[in-house]
Structure 1
Amino acid sequence: MKLTTIAHCIALIGVSNLAAGITYAQSLPVEKLQKVEITGSSIKAVQKEGALPIQVITAEQISRSGTTSVEQLIATLSANGTTADNLSSQAGIQLGSNDRNNNGNSSANLRGLGAGSTLVLLNGRRVSLHGAKGNAVNLNSIPLAAVERVEVLTDGSSAIYGTDAIGGVINFILKKNFNGVNLSARTNVTQGGGGNTKGISIVGGMGDMDSEGYNLMATLSYDKQAILNSHQRSFVNGFQPERGLSPDTTGTPFATQTGGAGTAIGSSYKLPTTGAQTYNRANLLSFQGKCESGFGMTQYQSTLWGNPQFGTSCAYDYTGQAVLIQPVDNLNLVTRGTLKIDNDTKAYFEVVGSRSTATKQFEQSQITTSIAAKNAYPVGGPYYQDLSSYIPTFDKTKPIAYRWRCLECGGRTIQTVSEQSRILAGIDGVIGGWDYSLGVSTAKSYANSVLGEGYMKRAEFDAALASGKINPWLKAGETQTAEALALIQGAKAAGTSLFGGRASLTQIDGKISGELFSLPAGMVSAAAGFDLRRESYQFKSDESATVPVRDAPFDATFAKVSRDITAIYAEMAVPVFKGFDAQLAIRGDKYSDFGNTVNPKISFRYEPIEKTLMFRGSVNSGFRAPSFFQLYSGVSISPLPGNVDDPVLCPKNPGNLQYCGIRPDQKAGGNINLNPEKSKQWSIGTVIQPLNWMAVTIDLWDIKRDGIITELDGTAVIKNPETFPNSLIRDANGEIDYIQAGYVNADGDKLRGIDLALKMNGNLGTAKWDAGIEGTYMKSFKSRIFKRDTYTELVGEWYPRNLYVRWKHNAFVTYSEGNWSTTFSQRYTAGYKDERPSGVVPAGFVADVKPYTTYNLSTSYSGFKDLSINVILIDLFDRTPSFTAHNVDFAGGAGWDPRVASPLGRRLSVSANYKF
């Protein structure tokens, strides 16, 4: 049955359930309030809405959403940044060390402040950072099948948790007391083909804490994400010049000759028909007006890119060769045992382990040859290409330098295996009326990346190219000789270890909370705790000096480093007067590698009209310690990701490839003199419940960060020579030798926004309904590198890594009656100003990227004995991602934006859960 037909069936089921029994509205019973400990505080309190904005996502809500991974779940949060921290965005070319080690890693990024500024907890405690990434938790390591609920604190909380918590905290609470066996299976099938997912999990438990005094449980789950290729989606098209989009590359399957001293076309040339215009690229198919006859090739759009000297060359739409979604296999295990020692004390242990395998694939390598590299095509070679009939100055006595897209080499692939574990033992209890908790844990993460197809050993491949036996000018239907294919195969670097990283965390923590004394307005409660941690990290790049590899993103090795953190903290909840409570918190941290920091927090909760109106707010400071990679990584050398012009010599020598359209090396590395980032932030909000079945929350938040750690990218340096005058390192001839880049403490940024939510529920005859919407309005996000700079407003503007859209929301309505439940939901992301072409803007260019809206419809049935089934149609109307003219070189996707949209399209998700 076609997926569209299935969609119609689900829609009819949903509508019929919504229509059934609608006679009158009646409010639901008010929930009983309990004394609980919530994320963001160590003090247990009785309150429905507290001083801090907490969003709770239950396992049932996760099931209704159709999300199959924690990455997808976090992406649905309106407070999570519209960022490149997902595996689809990472399919593009990465810039800088922050991204190059993302292989297999997905991160949370609240407020868009960076993955390192969001603290991810598992059952309220830390886990190890990703072994390769080194500054963020890998979301793929979180076992979604074992999650009972997720608590999201969208307020800074360094005063409670320490570093990483500037943007907020995401706490994954796992199932803890389970008896029986629960088997579940799920699949997610796309209508367009490709990108399907499937998974299975089993949860087993024995013992009851209340009657038997113990509980043992285990969860084992396996999920598989299939690959989605560009050619499987029609909207992936990098050649739409009328809309301002075209590939900026002359590395084509039918090679383009390039200029330079000692080459056949020289540094530049002129044509009799174009006057004084000089050129430094030449493609035979372009002269013949037949660029489109080559595989994936088009005429290079020199006007659009502002490169008239490339006007006689072809381009290659390599976006059609990219992978839209990486294939990922996830295996997760959770075991937990709890023993009731007496009525006031219980001990527990927990073991969590995961293994994730992700395969990233780029387009085929662009090969650039030169006289200096001794890999140019030789004079007298069997495939020597003579362009004398087109270029009067062509010198066929000299070798040919060229740019060639090596299709025979294959797509460049990197496979990363990430393994993560945590062992935790703890004891909770009550002594003298005070709650206490002690725990000791050790967590480790290991990640290793290995090169697959498409990467070539430099020396062997250069020798093969210089032999002249490989033909870079194959026409459609032609193939390389057996000898040439053997040379290519022999130069492949498949199996070469790229890099590996190890991160570990050892922690001893404890806390105690209880009531101190009574005031006229109520009891004063307090909590105090300590946190002792040792964090370590080691990174090894396995590139050998004797076997260098083309285009491989190697980073510099550094030996194992570690830091010790000693922290103490205290909280106090004070009922100032009836309806008004204040909460005070302070934390001191001592870091062995950069010193001490103290961060306070003050928050309040004021309820002038009980159960109807409440005000809340907080003021606090925060900090984020530099990551090990930012501090200690050695110098790495890599070519710039794109061509640039020497800002001094190119204007004096226009068109000369020695100074224009060059790709110099950039050097980057750690900086042991980095200071921690610091923040000051506040929030103020209100909760209004005008009716007992309706509640509205509005929270205004403001964050200002100083000393933000940023990596100076070589491209940014060369485009701003006045700002970075000492970063262009020149040789004795005055030419750029390399660009000095790396980590620095920049000035900072400031952002402000509003979180809004509306929740409603009630009865419709014998049925129940729930509805709600939660969204984030980003009023401003301004950033600058140095204080002498003016702030740049980023909200609503295209930006390479993080987007800061004006508005995001999720809305839903659920109707439940008997064994049936139906949910209709909407997810909306506002549009933004598009990246403008660098040359002449075409008449058809539209600067506004349209908003992206999708709808889901789910229906669940639990009428079978011990069996429940959930069927979800995701992206009900099969929304095509909004068009954007940005090029894939500097962000994932071309013609669409994976930070905003999903390339999967309409898909059917079916899950079944059987209990026995």
Structure 2
Amino acid sequence: MKVKKLAHMLALIGAVAPFANDAMAQDAAPIQRIEITGSSIKRIAKEGALPIQVVSFDTIEKSGITSTEQLVRTLSANGTGADNMTSGNNVFGADADRVSGGASFASLRGLGPNSTLVLLNGRRIASHGASGKAVDLNSIPLGAIARVEILKDGASAIYGTDAVGGVMNFILRENYDGVEASASTNVTQQGGGQTRRLSLLAGKGKLADDGYNIMASVTYDKDDKLSSSDRKFVNGFQPARGLSPDTTGTPFATQLSGAGTALGTGFQVPGDSSTYLQANQLSLQGKCDSVPGMSQYQTDLWKDVTSPLRSKYSCAYDYGADYAISFPVERLNAISRGTLQLNADHKLAFEGMYSRTKATAILTPVQIQTSLANKNAYPVGGAYYQDLSAFIPSFDKTKPIIYKWRATEWGDRTQENITDSARLLIAAEGTFLGKWDYKAGLSRAESQTKTALTDGYGYTSKIYSALASGVINPWLAPGQSQTAEASSLIESTKFRGDFQHGKTTLTQLDGTVSGELLQLPAGALAIAAGFDLRREGYDFGQNVDATGILLAPGNAALTNTSRDVRAIFTELLVPVTKDLELQLALRRDHYSVFGATTNPKLAFRYQPASTLLFRGSANKGFLAPSFTQLYSAQLSQELPNGIIDPIFCPTHPGDPAFCAISRQPYQTGGNSKLRPETSKQGTLGMVIEPVKGYSASLDFWAINVQDRILNRTPQVVLANAAALSANIIRNPDNTINYIQAGWINAAGLRTRGADLGLRGEGLLSGYKWNAALDGTWTKSFKFAEIQGQQYKELVGNFYTRDIYLRWKHNASLGVARGDWSGLLTQNYSAGYKDQLPNGGKGAPPAGFKADVSSYTTYDVSATYGGIKNATFTVGIKNLLNTDPPFTAHNVDEVVGAGWDPRVADARGRQLTLLFKYKFL
């Protein structure tokens, strides 16, 4: 078969990058057997039975993509969830990952990072050091890769049990000879969030001529901070549209009621017979908005969520619009690979990889609630004692004041997270007996994250003592500031220094043999067989007593745990007829914790004509719980104010102990009784090329998962109080003592959809052009939280974990002539039903729109290569400067005040510049 025909076949079935010039560049390549992601058998370059998307590095650069996270977000098969760095930089959401340390993760099909296997040159690398759940995309050496192969089908039978959602395989450049340097930057029009990159790639030697090749790459990235204040659309106070803060912890403190306090057990105001439980002087004066970010609490908007007895005379604070959208990040990635051609049939390779990510997470200031029990009430006689008797006749100024305060004087809670990741690999590959291929490798990988607190955190006992002194003023009027004595006292309470650390390790020995077993009438029967031995380890701990630091981040300690995984696998390629080929795979994994699991895979490829191909697969999956999910200790936390007890509030209406619970404690942690997830999934598709240069692929997919491992939030426990009553631990008077949240085996999920790929290329008036579209249509994503519950449809509806959009796509049009080329890209995400205000109870405001709009952005770039050894690319991302669509979701559950970072990018229009120079 001619090479040109082979390259054309690759374009036909969608195995090339989204731009046809990637395929045309292969025209001159020699014929060789290669290993394609999704199979362990080397063969002539030909698409197998599984849907694979390939993105070239040239496409990545011309698209202005500067990080692996940005690349993954353009993939339609990747989930629309909170696995990005913006969502990770928060204290919002009861199931937020507070130890992600600036990490970012992939989540194919929206099944979660644990279900997506990320490989580098077909082999594993260590999971993120802090969270331990999956590979941090920041650790991928993007500047040294040649392409990315995305297998959009479960591959547990090929790569291991954690490949349930699919595989992302980052392929490094090989046999590179020369020196290449590049510099790039992305500058936002509205300010903030600028990115810069410097990269150097060098290689020497050609395997065919010199018998060796040594390649090294170093890339340095720096991302600037982007604050919510830099973007006008970040606004959490839009009550007419159904959006307003539901917290009364404000920079101008709100006074609380309680026995022995100035407000007593409750108060009344003249002309109102109701007894209220908290008050803010600015609210009583009608001046909440005199302090930036504050507003009158919208009682009508939240009337069924928070008791009016607490909120009517309270102010609210838009803290969701007071945090870093993206924080300062510095990344250094270095990789070196040496290959020695021992003889015509054998070669030896050495590979070393190192990455360091320094991410400065910046969170909103701490919220403090004082009490007589904690001995931090404001004292009678203090210089700033706030007398409300002019508004509240029953106010007793002979008693101390307890209050709730957003303590901006302590500053933003700032964490410096440094993650060091490394891998060493020695590998051999070649052929023997003329027709058998082999490869083997021994690797050691690890990732370590260290977190230091640099501002905004303090020792609980010291803070409480400082507040009780009366020196600190929690009622600063606009233009006022703390005294020098108060500022010094605040500073004396702070903790700065190393706080926590996490480390993952991975030692792996693997080997594979493949070749032709025998000749059948329709062709050669090919086989692959191999083994995979791994030891995985995880350690997480804190350098200080976390209970001594007020609202310190982190998970519970988990010390030096490990497990062994032993696997054997085999794969057959069976040519049934000249047009029909079967792929049969079987893998048996043995976990030292869970025992053995066997997972099969069956796939077919049928090509009745040169213009038509059918393909499909069916397989089973198995996902073992992570170390954190199994073994982490219990961690005590608190829910925001206003929690309602769904069991006893209806029988005790208006009682704040049941209907407006203040700072409800809950516990999270590991669950040693977790069962592995199991899955059944399959694909069925076709590829057609009716006219040369024009092709289309359509692949339907279906996945069923049982015993899905999820973090049960306290809100979920309360929402399922009858079924999960054992998780609500009560006091003798039936008030809630605490809620037991944490990891559970949920009932499961069922999802269905299809991937569409369109390709076209041609020549028009001397211009080469190519067009492409990769899209994912999700028909259904049904989920049941608790066994026995009815499955709930999530596609097109708001959800606090992932949003399952009906349709997502990336489309492009490229043109080239001579030294010039251009690229236009469209990214589209469908709209969805918004979260209902007021917990979905009662009629929403007149201005509320139930649907969040779709989100479409356009990117354009032009590249000039007419100067010897140099290439210039200039582009504009988000050409039309499209703002993210408005959403009224509750910021306590999902990051973003008025917008959602799971769907949209807050950077707006950006100028992208890239300069590349080849020295040799």
| Normalised-by-shorter TM-score class | over 0.9
Contact (CA 8 Å) 2:815, 2:822: kept in 1 or not?
yes
Could you tell which deviates more after superposition, 473-482 or 664-673?
Answer: 664-673
For structure 1, which runs of at least 5 residues remain unmatched after alignment? 1-26
Residues 606-755 of structure 1 aligned to structure 2 (within 5 Å):
606-610=606-610, 612-659=611-658, 660-755=660-755
**Aligned equivalents of 1:759 and 1:90: distance in 2?**
36
* Equivalent in the alignment of 2:6: none
1:154-193 matched pairs, under 5 angstroms: 154-193=152-191
User: What is the correspondence of 1:432-581 to structure 2 with a 5 Å cutoff?
Assistant: 432=433, 433-495=435-497, 497-544=498-545, 548-581=548-581
- Equivalents in 2 of 1:85, 1:641: separation in Å? 23
Letter in 2 for 1:384: Y
Contact 1:252 1:316 in 2 (8 A): yes
| Mapped contact 2:419–2:450 kept (Cα < 8 A) | yes
The answer for the alignment partner of 1:792 in structure 2 is 792
Looking at structure 2, the residues matched to 70 and 594 of structure 1 have their Cα atoms a distance apart, in angstroms, of 33
Counterpart for residue 379 of structure 2:
378
CA distance in 2, matches of 1:176, 1:273: 81
| Contact 1:267–1:657 (8 Å) recurs in 2 | no
Partner of 1:3: none
Aligned with 1:279: secondary structure?
Answer: coil
Q: Which residue of 2 aligns with 1:864?
A: 867
State whether residues 269 and 393 of structure 1, in contact with CA within 8 Å, keep that contact through their aligned partners in structure 2. Answer: yes
Partner Cα distance (2:719, 2:777) in 1: 32
CA distance in 2, matches of 1:642, 1:830: 34
SS at match of 2:97: helix
Residue equivalent to 1:290: 287
Q: What residue in structure 1 maps to residue 10 of structure 2?
A: none
Q: Distance in 2 between matches of 1:319 and 1:648?
A: 30
One-letter amino acid matched to 1:792: K
Structure 1 partner of 2:226 = 228
> Take 2:545 and 2:519, find their aligned partners in 1: how far apart are those partners?
69
1:557-616 Cα shifts (integer Å, max 9, x gaps): 122011111100000001101200001000000000111000000000000112x00000
Which residue pairs with 2:244 in the alignment? 246
Shift of 1:34: 5.2
Q: Which runs of 5+ in 2 are unaligned?
A: 1-22
| Aligned-partner SS, 1:503 | strand
CA distance in 1, matches of 2:635, 2:642: 19
Any conservation in 1 of the 2:557–2:632 contact (CA below 8 Å)?
yes
| Aligned-partner SS, 2:716 | helix
Give aligned pairs, total. 886
Amino acid at match of 1:409: W
> What does residue 848 of structure 1 align with?
851
Question: What SS does the aligned partner of 2:208 have?
Answer: coil
Matched residue type, 1:407? T
Matches within 5 A, 1:80-479: 80-95=78-93, 99-275=97-273, 277-306=274-303, 307-309=307-309, 310-432=311-433, 433-479=435-481
d(CA) in 2 for partners of 1:295 and 1:94?
21
CA drift of 1:294 comes to 1.5
Deviation at 1:29, TM superposition (A): 11
Percent identity over paired residues? 51
Aligned to 2:831: 831
Query: What pairs up with 1:574-589 in 2 under 5 angstroms?
Result: 574-589=574-589
More off after superposition, 595-604 vs 723-732: 723-732
Contact 1:130/1:446 (8 A) holds in 2: yes
Deviation, 1:716, is: 1.8
In structure 2, the residue matched to 1:24 is: none
Report the Cα offset of residue 393 of structure 1. Answer: 2.0
Report the Cα distance in structure 2 between the residues aligned to 1:679 and 1:148, rounded to whole angstroms: 32
With 73-82 and 882-891 compared, the bigger mean Cα shift is at 882-891
Specify the code of the residue in structure 2 equivalent to 1:770.
N
Cα displacement (A) at 1:728: 1.4
What SS does the corresponding residue of 2:856 show, helix, strand or coil? strand
Contact 1:92-1:889 within 8 A present in 2 as well: no
| 3-state SS, counterpart of residue 715 of structure 2 | helix
**CA distance in structure 1 between the partners assigned to 2:773 and 2:911 by the alignment:** 24
The aligned amino acid for 2:607 is E
Q: What TM-score results when the alignment is normalised by the length of structure 2?
A: 0.94
Deviation at 1:93, TM superposition (A): 2.1
Q: Which residue of 2 aligns with 1:12?
A: none
Instruction: Give the conservation status (yes or no) of the 8 Å contact 1:410–1:454.
Output: yes
- Give SS of 1:663's match: coil
CA distance 1:442–1:842, shift in 2 (3 Å): same
Q: Higher mean Cα deviation, 528-537 or 360-369?
A: 360-369
Per-residue deviation at 1:656? 4.3
Q: Distance in 1 between matches of 2:910 and 2:26?
A: 37
Per-residue CA deviation, residues 829-884 of structure 1 (Å, 9 max, x unaligned), is 00110011116511100010000000011100111010001111100000011000
1: distance between equivalents of 2:243 and 2:543? 37
Q: Deviations over 1:610-658 (max 9, x none)?
A: 2x00000000001111101111111111112554123345445544444
Q: What SS class does the counterpart of residue 892 from structure 2 fall into?
A: helix
CA–CA distance in structure 1, aligned partners of residues 654 and 248 of structure 2: 16
State the alpha-carbon separation in 2 of the partners of residues 834 and 734 from structure 1: 35
What is the alpha-carbon root mean square deviation over aligned residues?
A: 1.6
What is the CA-CA distance between 1:49 and the residue it aligns to?
Answer: 3.1
Shift in Å, 1:666:
1.2
Q: Deviations over 1:192-217 (max 9, x none)?
A: 00000001010111111111000111
Alignment of 1:874-913 (within 5 A): 874-913=877-916
- Alignment deviations for residues 20-48 of structure 1 (CA, whole Å, 9 cap, x no partner): xxxxxxx9899587532100101122354
Alpha-carbon distance in structure 2 between the residues aligned to 1:846 and 1:70: 34
Deviations 1:96-144 (A, max 9, x none): 5761221221000000000000000000000000011111000000011
User: How far 1:737 sits from its partner (Å)?
Assistant: 1.8
Aligned counterpart, 1:7: none
Q: CA deviation at 1:445?
A: 0.5
Q: Hey, what's the Cα distance between the residues in 2 that align with 1:771 and 1:903?
A: 27
The alpha-carbon deviation at position 372 of structure 1 amounts to 1.5
Q: Equivalent residue of 1:913, what SS?
A: strand
Partner SS state of residue 157, structure 2? helix
The alignment partner of 2:100 has SS state of: coil
Displacement of 1:317 in angstroms is 1.3
Counterpart contact for 2:92–2:891, Cα < 8 Å: no
Contact 2:247 2:640 in 1 (8 A): no
1:22 corresponds to which residue? none
Identify which range, 29-38 or 807-816, moves more after superposition: 29-38
CA distance in 1, matches of 2:161, 2:24: 41
Tell me the CA shift for residue 733 of structure 1: 4.3
Residues 181-235 of structure 1: per-residue CA shift (max 9 Å, x gap): 1010011100000000001010111111111000111101100010001111110
Q: What secondary structure sits across from 1:582 in the alignment?
A: strand
SS in 2 for 1:572: strand
Structure 1 pair 387/652, CA: closer, same or farther in 2 (3 Å)?
A: farther
State the distance in 1 between where 2:245 and 2:276 align.
19
Quote the Cα distance in structure 1 between the aligned partners of 2:277 and 2:652: 13
Question: Which SS does the other structure have where 2:210 is aligned?
Answer: coil
Residues 253 and 295 in structure 1, CA contact (< 8 A), matched pair in contact too: no
2:345 and 2:439 mapped to 1: Cα distance? 12
Q: Does 1:804 align with 2:807?
A: no
Q: TM-score, normalised by structure 1?
A: 0.95
C-alpha distance after superposition, 1:412-442 (max 9, x if no partner): 1121100100000011110012000011000
